[in-house]
């Protein structure tokens, strides 16, 4: 079920994206957009993609999925740039810090934190694990 909250258009790094709220995590999980149609609409309107999100009642955590097939990314595992856009949008509504879970639908869970106090400045955080090191020779 789509929420009654407004869809927000936010621009970062030159291309705007749609911030689309849904009412439940289950609704977010159930999404299966048609990549071809979404790419065509995003290209026609000049959008990078759609960042769909849901706030889990009680926990304050946000679950999100970023769909950007017009740039060759059917779904992104973790999208810090769009999370920053959401943080900036929510800061204007009095929410200054968020924790966003992404990548679950792709079997690669990731968490991004963001804080914003209004204006255009946003701080992002997360965790990463080095899983291997190798030398690569470029000719």
Q: What is the pLDDT of residue 2?
A: 44
Q: What is the pLDDT of residue 119?
A: 63
Q: What is the pLDDT of residue 96?
A: 86
Asked if residues 73 and 64 have their Cβ atoms less than 8 Å apart, the reply is no
Q: Span 9-20, mean pLDDT? A: 77
Q: Span 108-130, mean pLDDT? A: 81
Which residues, other chains included, contact 19 with Cβ-Cβ below 8 Å and sequence gap of 6+? 7, 8, 9, 10, 51, 53, 82, 85, 86, 89
**Phi first, then psi: what are they for 58, rounded to 5°?**
90, -35
Asked if residues 50 and 18 have their Cβ atoms less than 8 Å apart, the reply is yes
Q: What is the pLDDT of residue 57?
A: 65
| Bridge partner residues of 112 (DSSP) | 100, 126
pTM over 0.85: no
Q: What is the pLDDT of residue 133?
A: 79
Q: What is the pLDDT of residue 1?
A: 40
31's tokens: 């999404």
Lowest mean pLDDT among 24-33, 45-54, 58-67: 58-67
Per-residue b/e over 11-33, b at no fewer than 16 CB within 10 Å? eeeeebbbbbbbeebebbeeeeb
Task: Give the CA dihedral 75, 16, 96, 76, nearest 10 degrees.
Answer: 10
What burial class does residue 3 get, using C-beta atoms within 10 Å of its C-beta: 0-12 exposed, 13-18 middle, 19+ buried? Answer: middle
The percentage of the chain sitting over the pLDDT mark of 70, rounded to a whole number, equals 86
Chain segment 82-118, per-residue pLDDT in tens = 998 888 888 888 888 999 999 999 999 999 999 987 6
């Amino acid at each position: 079920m789509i929420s009654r909250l407004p869809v927000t258009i936010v621009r970062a790094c030159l291309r705007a994206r749609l911030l689309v709220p849904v009412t439940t995590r289950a609704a977010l999980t159930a999404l299966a957009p048609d990549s071809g149609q979404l790419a065509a609409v995003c290209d026609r309107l000049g959008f990078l993609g759609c960042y769909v999100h849901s706030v889990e009642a009680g926990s304050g955590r946000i679950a999100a999925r970023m769909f950007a097939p017009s740039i060759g990314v059917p779904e992104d595992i973790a999208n810090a740039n769009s999370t920053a856009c959401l943080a900036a949008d929510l800061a204007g509504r009095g929410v200054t810090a968020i924790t966003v879970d992404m990548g679950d639908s792709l079997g690669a869970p990731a968490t991004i934190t963001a804080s914003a106090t209004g204006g255009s400045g946003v701080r992002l955080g997360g965790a990463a694990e080095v899983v291997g090191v190798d030398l690569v020779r470029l000719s």
